[in-house]
A and B are shown apart, each in its own frame.
Chain A
Amino acid sequence: MILTPKILARIVAICFVGVLLQLSFFSQVELFHVSPDVLPALVVCLGLLGGALTGAVSGFAIGFFVDCLLVEALGITSLVLLGVGYLAGLFRERFEIHSSVLPALLCMGFTLLAEIGFGVIQLLLGLDAPLSILVVRDLLLKSVYAFFLGWPLYLLIKRILRPALVEESTVRRGRQPTILGA
């Protein structure tokens, strides 16, 4: 990704709108008693499109912003989301994304990872309450929702950040065969 001030502003706007939508909309609606969590999917999309560094930095920033708005202990959400963003970026750098389903599947997998990571940190910090088996339902349904939300989200963010993206196909098309003797 080619980062220009304009593209940076777009990424900041995406993160800001994403956090607002999560806290004011997705967290307050429920389908089958579980609220969708769009933030890990958003960070995964940014990581897949912008690489490991973009993913990690946006994950940290989104986590920091969420914790500030919810007046929660800072650092927990940042740590989880920066890890998710970095791993998504690494995936993008090591493997090619051929299928259009792959980003959605990655959103699903990384959302599950983020939720588990979040739980592990909470347990390490000392969770003084029994765990319900319904936590498993919550984690699984959140991942399924991330699959369905991640699909349009990836396409939308790709469209917004298109000027900065270096498309593999464009690079390949740009290479002209060398004509010997010309």
Chain B
Amino acid sequence: MYRKQVRRRRAVLALLVVGSFVLLTLTYQGSHGLQSGVSTIFSPVQSVADRALKPARDLVDWFDKTFDARGENSRLKAELGKARRQAVAGQEALQENAQLRKLVELDRDPPLAYTNYKQVTGRVIARSPTVWRSSVTIDAGSGDGVSVDDPVISGDGLVGRIASVGPGSSQVMLLTDGESAVTAKVVPSGVQGVVKPEVGNPETLILDFISSTKPVHGGQAVVTAGWRARGLPPSHFPPGLPVGEVTKAPVFEQEARQQVDVRPYADLRNLDLVQVLTGGSRG
């Protein structure tokens, strides 16, 4: 009797292991109808759970942020001073830009590609539980006009792109996902490269493959290069979307490894509402 039980147990275990490998083989290269089906059925439930649990999440976030607030305060004060100086300089630049545009009649040119995009707002309803994957599920899907590879932004900057779409929900691959890569450039220096993640570190991205001839400095902004980046593969992202800011840019690292560290503008760990840029022309 006991042996029979053990044999049955081993058979079930073997079946489950084989089943896992079969599922992995069938679905590794892309999403399956089954996943979209289950996701579609349960996305309303997830949405309700997400809203119901928001107060509890906010409470935990409050504790977490209180711990961080002290260090953050002094850093923000310094950043505010810097931003004020930049804002003044920016106002001057805007005036100058408007005058120059009038001079060269740039305003008559076709609008920038990314004004063709429509913005679809989505709420994050689920998040991958492990550090090895960096994705979130939002409550906007193909029914809202969202399609695969659409760029996703938050109020602060680029968040990622749509990895798969269901009728009522979509999966967003964040910038910090191991498979993510975004062609980007540093402004104002114009140095181009690819923004890649460092798995396990949500606060730092790496701008890789940069040219070592032009130096990059800390504090410089990194924006998407779009399909206009020369020598790099076509991008899913329109040019000019803010990605982050260069934090560490030691000269020896730029020369030896041709990379610098970038802090993403968007708070990728605490996303709530995001916007999907749908439509628009692609490279």
Residue pair A130, B198 in contact (C-beta under 8 Å) = yes
Q: Which segment of A100-108, A133-141, A148-156, A166-174 sits at the interface?
A: A133-141
Q: Which residues of B contact A56 (CB under 8 A)?
A: 12-13, 16
* A66→B199 contact, CB < 8 A: no
Query: Whole-angstrom distance from the CB of A1 to the nearest CB of chain B?
Result: 13
Partner of B63, one of A21, A31, A39: A31
Complex Cα gap A161–B16 (Å): 24
CB distance B32 to A74 under 8 Å?
A: yes
Contact A53 B164 (CB under 8 A): no
Complex contact A78–B53 (CB within 8 A):
no
Q: Interface size of A by Cβ–Cβ distance < 8 Å?
A: 59
- Contact in complex: B45, A30 (CB < 8 Å): no
Which of A33, A65, A73, A122 contacts B27, CB < 8 Å? A73
The one of A23, A29, A73, A76 in contact with B126, judged by C-beta atoms closer than 8 angstroms, is A23
B129 contacts A23, C-beta separation under 8 Å = yes
A78 to B21, CA, bound (A): 9
The residue from B24, B35, B199, B200 contacting A71, defined by CB atoms under 8 A apart: B35
Q: In the complex, are the beta carbons of B64 and A23 less than 8 A apart? A: no
Chain B contacts of A20 at CB under 8 A?
45-46, 49
Contact B135 A28 (CB under 8 A): no
In angstroms, Cα B14 to Cα A56, docked, is 10
With A29-B61, A131-B200 already in contact, the answer to whether A86 and B24 are too (CB < 8 A) is no
Q: Contacts A23-B46, A56-B12: A125 and B17 contacting too (C-beta < 8 A)?
A: no
A68 at the interface (CB under 8 A from B): yes
Scan residues 14-73 of chain B and give those whose CB is less than 8 A from a CB of chain A.
16-17, 19-28, 31-32, 34-36, 38-39, 42, 45-46, 49-50, 53, 56-57, 60-61, 63-64, 67
Q: Would you give the 0/1 interface string for A31-59, flagging 1 where the beta carbon is closer than 8 Å to chain B? A: 11101010100000000000011001100
Q: Closest CB-CB distance, B19 to chain A, in whole Å?
A: 7
- Which of B12, B164, B203 makes the CB contact (< 8 A) with A57? B12
B137 within 8 A of A: yes
Query: Is B74 part of the contact surface with A, judged by Cβ < 8 Å?
Result: no
Residues of A within 8 A of B125 (CB): 23-24
Q: Which residues of A contact B201 (CB under 8 A)?
A: 132, 134-135
The residue of chain B having its C-beta at the shortest distance from the C-beta of A68 within the complex is B38
A79: B residues at CB distance < 8 A: 17, 20-21, 24
Does the CB pair B126–A53 fall under 8 Å? no
14 contacts between A and B (CB under 8 A): A23-B126, A25-B56, A26-B129, A28-B127, A39-B129, A60-B19, A64-B23, A70-B39, A71-B137, A72-B135, A119-B132, A122-B132, A138-B200, A139-B131
Interface on A for B, CB 8 Å cutoff?
20-33, 35, 37, 39, 52-53, 56-57, 60, 63-76, 78-79, 82, 86, 115, 118-119, 122, 125, 127-139, 142
Contacts A71-B35, A79-B17, A135-B201 given; 10 further ones with Cβ under 8 A?
Answer: A24-B50, A24-B53, A29-B57, A31-B63, A32-B64, A35-B129, A53-B12, A72-B35, A82-B20, A132-B200
